Structure 1
């Protein structure tokens, strides 16, 4: 596992998968400005690696993340605070714009800011005992790192209002029922199941994955006609690729395809 900077983020590189870690286990992976900057750098490195087809976002140690570092949050309300208030939105945008699919593994705890950290990921695997929710309205504020904007796009406005305004943890099984998470597993299996989920994505054509993610992310941002044009444009980009031909040839020959990202 290779550390990034000094903020305690790390990448574990595999053949076709990269595992990005919040790596402050002694602090329950609570997020600081240096850690968030290092996570941005980690995802930028992953995005630039043409060999990587899928990414996981995990917490080193027993917990995904306790959320924002409480000392940092206390200090940021001081009049002369120089804390970078834009770093968290930049981090979420970087995850969202990463070309490869991103799978978050939510282990034991992901409250408030840690909950918002999982929203720009493409998939979420959660442990049965996880404390997962937006608690900000119980702390004198509300989730404004993207929670009020990304969450309604995932589960609908009514359910999003319930989670945001009630300020309570959501039961993992209920989160699955509303489409917020994709799998609920035993707590001790979260990391391995998250990696297996990403490995399954790695079997598919990398160029197809990337263009499909790009089209899907645009779906709620464009009028239908514009979105359909954009989808076709992204599809046409793949018509002359080696992997497009390989996919159909493999199906006709009744064998597994060998994709190269070409």
Structure 2
């Protein structure tokens, strides 16, 4: 019986700008994404039958065809006319519906895993093209690292990411935020503060993480933080504990802070755990999906 195990990593955004809207309703974005070393474990094994079965350590995700991993498996099977079934086990560690691309990352792992398991010999470019059919974040999640994402998020320019001596404190409050509603709530004509992505990329190039931290902007935060006071509450706690800077990731509700000193990040974590359950201290990562073993 053939099987494979993979790590599927989360991402944070160091900036998000929304430039406009396409006719098809997708928004045009320009944002800096960074993979972090917080990951789900995905186990795939072949079945004797033709079913796609999904299991998980949590009941908070759909375990049927509504899950993007099911769609990823189906996409590969249909495209290559494969008549085999698989069982997928998702060990969830990335917070769910958090603005950290957990689902996209899981789908990316299925594409990479089945490519290997079924000897399809798809190139990275071909995997990314398939991934884009599932969602705009999937191509980024396949490779990881740090990138400037443009278009609807699929045009990637790889850049130098956060150095590995920076600690990242991540906190996901117990809220549900609808990405669709956040984008719909954005008044494109009245965005006062936008990120200067060229400047931020320069800061990363030159290892000027304090300057980066002070100049990170996520235009979606204006919408989400109006509805949920937890976002500014978490940022206050992070900043009080010596974060270089803190910001919401994606459309929320996850907030992260960047720290020069791991001790300060751990102190911030202890403080946040008094009010919030999902708190992590991690580093950046140069990898996206990784095959275990």
Q: Flag whether TM exceeds 0.5 (same fold).
A: no
TM-score of the aligned structures, taking structure 2 as reference length: 0.30
Q: Which structure carries more helix by proportion? A: 1
TM-score of the aligned structures, taking structure 1 as reference length: 0.32
Which structure is richer in relative contact order (CA contacts within 8 A, separation 6 or more)? 2
Q: Which structure carries more strand by proportion? A: 2
